[in-house]
Amino acid sequence: MSKSIFIKADEVAKELGVSYSFASKLVRNLNQDLDERGFITIAGRVSRKYYEEKLYGQIQKEGGN
């Protein structure tokens, strides 16, 4: 099964080993950042790419330089 372009708060909670309420707050904060930049956001979900970049730093593509 392929991953969605969005990640939900329950997935964030499971991945980080934190409570659902903390994960929801994190998703809200990330969406607020995106909204302030003029992006369209969906409540309860955040761009997986943006989440990973903010959490883990710049992720390099596999096989790329």
Q: Tell me what the mean pLDDT of segment 15-19 comes to.
A: 95
Q: By three-state DSSP, how is residue 8 classified?
A: strand
Q: Tell me what the mean pLDDT of segment 34-60 comes to.
A: 88
Given this model, what pLDDT does residue 35 score? 95
pLDDT band at 60 (very low <50, low <70, confident <90, very high): low
pLDDT over 70 (residue 54): yes
Helix axes 20-36, 9-16, angle to 10 degrees: 120
pLDDT band at 1 (very low <50, low <70, confident <90, very high): very low
Name the region of 57 (left: φ>0; alpha: ψ -120 to 50; beta: rest). left
CB 8 within 8 A of CB 45: yes
